[in-house]
Amino acid sequence: MSHTIVNPDGLHDPTAFGYSHTAAIPAGTDLVFVSGQYGSGPDGMVVSTDFAEQVQQAFRNLGVALAAHDLGLRDVVQLRTYVVDVDFGKLGTIGQAVQEGCGDPLPVQTVIGVAGLAMPDILFEVEAVAARP
């Protein structure tokens, strides 16, 4: 692994929610930045109006983007997720997708509730920073 994840004593355990508190990246590590991926097919159109399906597709798309750099979801250090009409159920869906895709240790993550995204049918978007030694 090209980075170190730490969940310090004195802060709650965030892993049940699908993220970690801190990540350290050593000098000399290559960083790959991935723009927001959403639940689209190859044509750019949203594959479903279902939130969970959009999350799954967005993470598949993130995997494709990372693979172009010979990286995978387990190389992700940081996620920013954007959620239309955020609620606790959606947070659980996102947490599960992160745990399944990124594994242990979980990347740091910020969930941002938004009124809307680039197209009206997009309910979820994820951007990432991945690290390679």
Token pair listed for 8: 């310090």
Helices (runs of H) and strands (runs of E) counted in the chain:
2, 6
Q: What is the mean pLDDT of residues 12-18?
A: 90
d(CA 70, CA 64): 10
Length of the chain counted residue by residue? 133
Summarize pLDDT for 21-56 with one digit per residue, the tens: 999 999 999 999 999 999 999 999 999 999 999 999
- The residue with greater pLDDT, 75 or 1, is 75
Please give the pLDDT value at position 58.
Answer: 98
CB 5 within 8 A of CB 106: yes
Longest dimension (CA), the chain: 46
CATH (one of 3.30.1330.40, 3.40.50.720, 3.90.1580.10, 3.30.70.890) for 28-132: 3.30.1330.40
CB 42 within 8 A of CB 48: no
pTM (predicted TM-score): 0.93
Residue 37 phi, psi dihedral angles, 5° rounding = -110, 140
Domain ranges of the chain: 28-132
CB 112 within 8 A of CB 125: no
CB 123 within 8 A of CB 54: yes
